[in-house]
Chains A and B, each alone.
Chain A
Amino acid sequence: MPREGMTLDRLALLLDAYGARPERWPDAEREAMQALLERSAEARIRLDEAAALDLLLEHAAPAPPSAALAERILAGRPRAKLVPFPVPPRRRARLVAAIGLAAAASLAAWLVRRPAEYPRLEPAALAQLGEYQTPTDALLSAADLDADDTMPEFGCDDPDVDCDEPDLSPRPSSMGPTARKEIPA
Chain B
Amino acid sequence: MLRVGRGDGEACRLLVERHLGRVVAFASRVLGSPSEAEDVAQDVFARVWTSAASWRPGSARLTTWLHRVALNLCLDRLARRREAPLETAPEPADPRPTPAGRLEEAEVTRVVHREIAALPERQRTALALCHYQGMRNDEAAEIMDITVEALESLLARARRTLRERLRPVASDLLES
Contact = CB atoms under 8 A, between A and B. Distances in A.
Indicate, yes or no, whether A interacts with B: yes
A155 interface: no
Nearest to B29: A62
B38 A69 contact: yes
A26 interface: yes
Contacts of A59: 105, 108-109, 112
B121 interface: no
A19 B109 contact: no
Contacts of B152: 13-14, 17-18
Main SS class of interface, B: helix
Contacts of A18: 130, 137, 152, 155
A80 to B, nearest CB: 4
A70 B20 contact: yes
Given A17-B152, A53-B166, A80 B8 contact: yes
B6 interface: yes
Contact of A65 (B7, B38, B53, B134): B38
Contacts of B108: 56, 59
A79 B7 contact: yes
B131 interface: yes
A52 B166 CA distance: 10
Given A57-B162, A69-B42, A77-B9, A62 B20 contact: no
Contacts of B53: 78
Interface string B41-71: 1100110010011000000000000000000
A78 B6 contact: yes
Most buried by B among A16, A54, A60, A65: A60
Contacts of B79: none
Interface in B88-140: 105, 108-109, 112-113, 116, 130-132, 134, 137
A53 B116 contact: no
Interface in A15-72: 16-19, 24, 26, 49-50, 52-54, 56-57, 59-66, 69-70, 72
Contact of A63 (B34, B134, B148, B170): B34
A185 interface: no
A60 B41 contact: no
Contact of B24 (A53, A54, A62, A78): A62
Interface string A68-93: 01101110111111000000000000
Given A56-B108, A56-B169, A73 B52 contact: no
A14 to B, nearest CB: 7
A80 B109 contact: no
